[in-house]
């Protein structure tokens, strides 16, 4: 796994095991399935999980030994995303493997461990007995790709203390109103339960577009609540307003019913609710011309 990650919100990735089962719309076009099942045939997605090698498990211990040098260079602790190819709170993973992971986290207190799950309802029954000893170096997060998942997942996430509690709204498949009564505790204090929000569009061959107004609303909600906001990417699709008119791409418009329709056509002049498939690199990660790189403030 990667000592240096291309993911904008982490420094490194560590996967104690590989494999998962699709459980929500965000999983439909899973990049990990495409890589580890379809391409490398490492696991059968939705089937057995595969534990990674002992040499891979030694990586975080090496990072722990280098933690002082990392802090001196960056002025903060190294962030480790676990797991990019699995889910820590997957109930199909052997308990012994997760016990080994908790022990590893306990043995690497100078690292910040980012645990992102689509199964926050499992967190409570899977935390170790020594959670209070390690929670200061763990960031707990959950994926909330639309309002339904936000209403359900956030209430489970915020039941547990950790150094940071965060949301990954990627791929964003619908608007998310953080002030909905069923999501948090109301308009004025939703930020008290969430410390950080990441958002982004979908990449890959079957990527679905995200409406620019969904991201704008999320950005503004975070600003109003004082919650750091990181816009990770547009993904495959970019608003027509930032695509050169000479390009040709697939174009989609949002209908009044909230459904995307489209054809293959030249990019038109800027039109409301129009997205163009130009590829992840060309689409970039500027929202209304601005890069949003917010991170939570944590104690050294």
Contacts of 29 (CB under 8 A, 6+ apart): 202, 204, 205, 206, 207, 208
Query: CB of 268 within 8 A of CB of 238?
Result: no
How many whole angstroms separate alpha carbon 52 and alpha carbon 14?
A: 10
State the pLDDT confidence band at 85, using cuts at 50, 70 and 90: very high
State the pLDDT confidence band at 187, using cuts at 50, 70 and 90: very low
Three-state SS for 115? strand
201: left (phi over 0), alpha (psi -120 to 50) or beta: beta
pLDDT 10s digits, 215-246: 999 999 999 888 999 999 999 998 877 766 54
Query: CB of 67 within 8 A of CB of 77?
Result: yes
Higher pLDDT, 28 or 191: 28
Query: CB of 14 within 8 A of CB of 81?
Result: yes
pTM surpassing 0.95? no
The answer to whether the bond into 83 is cis (omega within 30° of 0) is: yes
* Residues paired with residue 261 on neighbouring β-strands, in sequence order: 253
Terminal CA-CA length for the chain:
25
Which tokens belong to 75? 């002025």
Pairing of strands 237-239, 50-51: unpaired
Q: Provide the mean pLDDT of the chain.
A: 88
How many whole angstroms separate alpha carbon 261 and alpha carbon 272?
A: 14
pLDDT at 197 over 60: yes
Predicted pLDDT at 73: 97
Q: Which fold has domain 12-237+281-291?
A: TIM Barrel (3.20.20)
State the pLDDT confidence band at 298, using cuts at 50, 70 and 90: confident
């Amino acid at each position: 796994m990667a000592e240096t990650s291309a993911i904008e919100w982490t420094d490194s990735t560590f996967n104690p095991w590989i494999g998962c089962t699709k459980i929500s719309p965000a999983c439909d076009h899973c990049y990990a399935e495409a890589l580890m099942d379809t391409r490398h045939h490492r696991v059968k997605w939705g089937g057995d999980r595969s534990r990674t090698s002992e040499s891979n498990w030694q990586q975080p211990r090496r990072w722990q030994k280098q933690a002082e040098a990392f802090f001196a260079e960056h002025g903060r602790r190294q962030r480790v995303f676990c797991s990019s190819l699995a889910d820590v709170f997957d109930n199909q993973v052997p308990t012994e493997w997760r016990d080994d992971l908790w022990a590893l986290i306990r043995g690497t207190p100078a690292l910040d461990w980012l645990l992102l799950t689509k199964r926050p309802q499992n967190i409570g029954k899977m935390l170790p007995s020594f959670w209070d000893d390690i929670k200061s170096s763990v960031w707990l997060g959950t994926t909330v790709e639309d309002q339904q998942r936000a209403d359900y997942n956030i209430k489970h996430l915020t039941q547990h203390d950790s150094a940071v509690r965060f949301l990954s709204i990627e791929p964003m498949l619908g608007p998310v109103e953080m002030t909905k009564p069923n999501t948090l505790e109301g308009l004025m204090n939703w930020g008290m339960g969430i410390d950080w929000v990441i958002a982004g569009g979908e990449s890959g061959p079957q990527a679905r577009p995200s409406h620019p107004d969904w991201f704008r609303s999320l950005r503004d909600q975070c600003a109003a609540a004082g919650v750091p906001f990181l816009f990770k990417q547009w993904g495959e699709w970019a608003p027509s307003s930032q695509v050169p008119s000479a390009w040709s791409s697939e174009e989609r418009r949002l209908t009044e019913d909230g459904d995307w329709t489209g054809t293959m056509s030249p990019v038109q002049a800027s039109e409301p609710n129009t997205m163009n498939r130009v590829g992840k690199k060309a689409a970039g990660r500027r929202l209304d011309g601005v890069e949003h790189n917010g991170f939570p403030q944590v104690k050294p």
